[in-house]
Amino acid sequence: MDDPLADLPGYVLRRASIATMGRLHRHISAHDLRATEASLILLIGERAGLTQSEAGRILGIKRANMVPLTARLEARGLVERLQLTGRSQELALTTAGKLMQAEVRASVVRHEAEIMARVPEALRPHVMPILTALWGPERDER
């Protein structure tokens, strides 16, 4: 089927994103996680002392959406809140959360390898610089 919009970069990027997210969902659905939940688990595992607001800024998730996201992971026994100072709380992985992090990381690594395998080898070195340029400097302003 000939797509008359296929020469629009934004349109193609959106379609690529939808296809990629669908594939990611298939990889992580065995863990009964959404992509944002998997991302948060990976992030918490990488950043000791991370607060919920910092996690939201890094992942581009609004504060109002971070509360139920964190609560779902807490209810599953994957994440816990630890008191830092005053009202500030650190997000930490439980023992079950650390096991889930390892499983999710393995699923994501497989997913990322599949993505890159779809790109011709000569173009692979350009993928991250292009995507990072499109992501833009506003990502640092959150």
Q: Is 63 part of a structural domain of the chain? A: yes
Residue type, 107: S
d(CA 66, CA 69): 5
Judge whether residue 1 has pLDDT over 70: no
H helix or E strand, kind and range, residue 80 = strand 79-85
Which range marks the domain in which residue 30 is found? Answer: 9-135
Q: Is 16 part of a structural domain of the chain? A: yes
Q: What is the pLDDT of residues 2-20, one digit of tens each?
A: 888 999 999 999 999 999 9
Write down the pLDDT at residue 87: 77
Q: Is 4 part of a structural domain of the chain? A: no
Q: Is 2 part of a structural domain of the chain? A: no
Q: What is the pLDDT of residues 80-110, one digit of tens each?
A: 999 877 777 899 999 999 999 999 999 999 9
Residue 127, φ and ψ in degrees, nearest 5: -60, -55
Q: Is 127 part of a structural domain of the chain? A: yes
Dig out the tokens for 96 from the structure: 């079950």
What total of structural domains would you count in the chain? 1
**CATH classification at residue 96:** 1.10.10.10
Q: Is 96 part of a structural domain of the chain? A: yes
Whole-prediction pTM:
0.86
Q: Is 3 part of a structural domain of the chain? A: no
